[in-house]
Amino acid sequence: MTTLKRPATSSNAERTLDIMLALGEVGPEGLSLADIAERVGSAKSATHRSLAAMIAKGFAEPTGRYGHYRLGVAVPMLARRQERFEPQVQKFRAGMTEFARRTGFTVYLLVQSGTDAICAEMISRASRQEFTMGLGTRVPMGVGAGSLALMSLLSDSAIDQIVDANADRYLKHPSVRPVNRDIILGQVIDAKGRGYAVNRGFFFYGEGGVGLPRPAAEHYEVDMAVSFNAPLDLMSEDWTDSQVRQLRDCLK
């Protein structure tokens, strides 16, 4: 497994990446300069300089509203050229769809991105629903059953580095029960032992989650995890085990 190290970074480069992530969380209406600066924790003058460099390379662009910015066309164009994940996503899509058909649950596919997990696919039978996660949504690794399942595939040293890097983020992340580094680490250890991850209602009232790790099978693949949320009152040990067996069967 690759060990995650905290490299020395340029403040300008890190600010630019933070701006790109902030703009990626909103639609074509974009964000104002003041909003961007607040989100990335930087002065407006420094934020504006980074935005100017991004605009020059097509990674950001002004919107029709004065002083507002959004992602530029270079971002989706680069993404379209890098389709190496799509064959791997396709391997799981049919099984996720079948599990959603059998159970009625919304099913998510997550991949690791540094200290975050990103939703790479979502399958649902519901036409109207406020989803807890959508395509491209990022959460700190350790938040939710899917990212816990991803962490269960990592070495102990890599896990320690991630929970240390995210320790402050766990404290700030919206939750209905207290969450900290030690709680996340305990959940990862539990996931390693049982072979899948369980989140028992830390982040949403009355709702937990289950995450099944899917390790990379080839050197060009990445670790992934398939997860779903369920009402807490259903999530007995026997029920959860049966759902995981069914999910494994669907993903064969």
The structure tokens listed for 41 are 């924790």
Q: Per-residue pLDDT for 1 more than 60?
A: no
pLDDT tens, position by position, 22-55:
998 888 899 999 999 999 999 999 999 999 999 9
Looking at residue 9, its pLDDT comes to: 44
Report the percentage of the chain scoring pLDDT > 90.
64
pLDDT tens, position by position, 181-236:
999 999 999 999 999 999 998 998 899 999 999 999 888 888 999 999 999 999 99
pLDDT tens, position by position, 3-14:
333 344 458 888
Lowest mean pLDDT among 125-134, 203-212, 233-242: 125-134
Q: What are phi and psi of 30, to 5 degrees?
A: 70, -160
Distance CA 163, CA 167 (A): 6
Tell me the pLDDT of the chain averaged across its residues: 88
For 137-163, b/e burial (b = at least 16 CB within 10 A) is bbbbbbbbbbbbbbbbbbeeebbebbb
CA 35 to chain centre: 23
Per-residue pLDDT, averaged over 150-167, amounts to 95
Q: What are phi and psi of 188, to 5 degrees?
A: -65, -45
Looking at residue 19, its pLDDT comes to: 93
pTM: 0.75
Q: Per-residue pLDDT for 76 more than 80?
A: no
Domains of the chain: 11-79 (1.10.10.10), 83-251 (3.30.450.40)
